[in-house]
Amino acid sequence: MAGSGDAGPAALPALGVDVGGTKVAGGVVAPDGTVLATARRSTPTASVAETEAAVADVVTELAGAHGGSLAAVGVGAAGWFDRTGDVVLFSPHLAWRHSSLRRDLAARLRRPVWVGNDADAAAWAEYRFGAARGAELALCVTLGTGIGGGIVAGGQLQRGAHGVAGEWGHMRVVPDGRLCPCGNRGCWEQYASGSALATTAREVATRSPAAAARLLDRVDGDAARLTGEDVARAAAEGDPVALSLVSDVGEWLGQGIADLATVLDPDVVVIGGGVSVLGEMVLRPARERLDRALPGRGFRPGPRVVAAALGAQAGLVGAADLARTAACAEHRG
* CA-closest candidate to residue 13, choices 71, 76, 62: 71
If asked whether residues 296 and 201 sit together in one domain, one would say yes
Can you state the angle between helices 240-264 and 280-293, rounded to 10 degrees? 50
If asked whether residues 317 and 262 sit together in one domain, one would say no
If asked whether residues 60 and 154 sit together in one domain, one would say no
pLDDT of residue 140 exceeding 80, the answer is yes
Do the domain assignments include residue 78?
Answer: yes
Cβ atoms of 252 and 192 within 8 Å: the answer is yes
What torsion do the CA atoms of 196, 197, 200, 206 make, to the nearest 10 degrees?
Answer: -130
More confident residue, 5 or 75: 75
Q: What is the pLDDT of residue 9?
A: 87
Q: How sure is the predictor about 7, in pLDDT bands with cuts at 50, 70 and 90? A: low
If asked whether residues 72 and 39 sit together in one domain, one would say yes
Q: What is the pTM of this model?
A: 0.90
The structural domain count of the chain equals 2
Find the helix or strand (DSSP H, E) in which 103 lies: helix 101-109
pLDDT of residue 1 exceeding 70, the answer is no
* CA-closest candidate to residue 99, choices 58, 51, 48: 48
If asked whether residues 154 and 206 sit together in one domain, one would say yes
Do the domain assignments include residue 1?
Answer: no
If asked whether residues 316 and 167 sit together in one domain, one would say no
If asked whether residues 102 and 159 sit together in one domain, one would say no
Instruction: Taking residues 250-266, report their average pLDDT.
Output: 96
Number of H helices, E strands in the chain: 9, 13
Do the domain assignments include residue 2?
Answer: no
* CA-closest candidate to residue 281, choices 294, 295, 271, 293: 271
If asked whether residues 78 and 179 sit together in one domain, one would say no
Owning domain of residue 77: 8-125+312-332
C-alpha atoms less than 13 angstroms from C-alpha of 156 in its C-beta half-sphere:
4
If asked whether residues 156 and 195 sit together in one domain, one would say yes
* CA-closest candidate to residue 313, choices 72, 16, 56: 16
Cβ atoms of 101 and 52 within 8 Å: the answer is yes
Give the 3-state secondary structure of residue 68: coil
- Report how far apart, in Å, the C-alpha atoms of 287 and of each of 54, 236, 293 are: 38, 19, 10
If asked whether residues 164 and 289 sit together in one domain, one would say yes
If asked whether residues 253 and 143 sit together in one domain, one would say yes
90-115 tens-digit pLDDT:
887 788 899 998 999 999 999 999 99
pLDDT of residue 174 exceeding 90, the answer is yes
Q: What is the pLDDT of residue 333?
A: 67
What CATH number does residue 96 fall under? Answer: 3.30.420.40
Instruction: Taking residues 61-72, report their average pLDDT.
Output: 89
Average pLDDT in the chain:
92
If asked whether residues 68 and 84 sit together in one domain, one would say yes
pLDDT of residue 6 exceeding 70, the answer is no
What span, in angstroms and rounded, lies between the C-alpha atoms of 304 and 275?
18
Q: What is the pLDDT of residue 226?
A: 96
Do the domain assignments include residue 242?
Answer: yes
- Report how far apart, in Å, the C-alpha atoms of 181 and of each of 14, 127, 214 are: 33, 29, 30
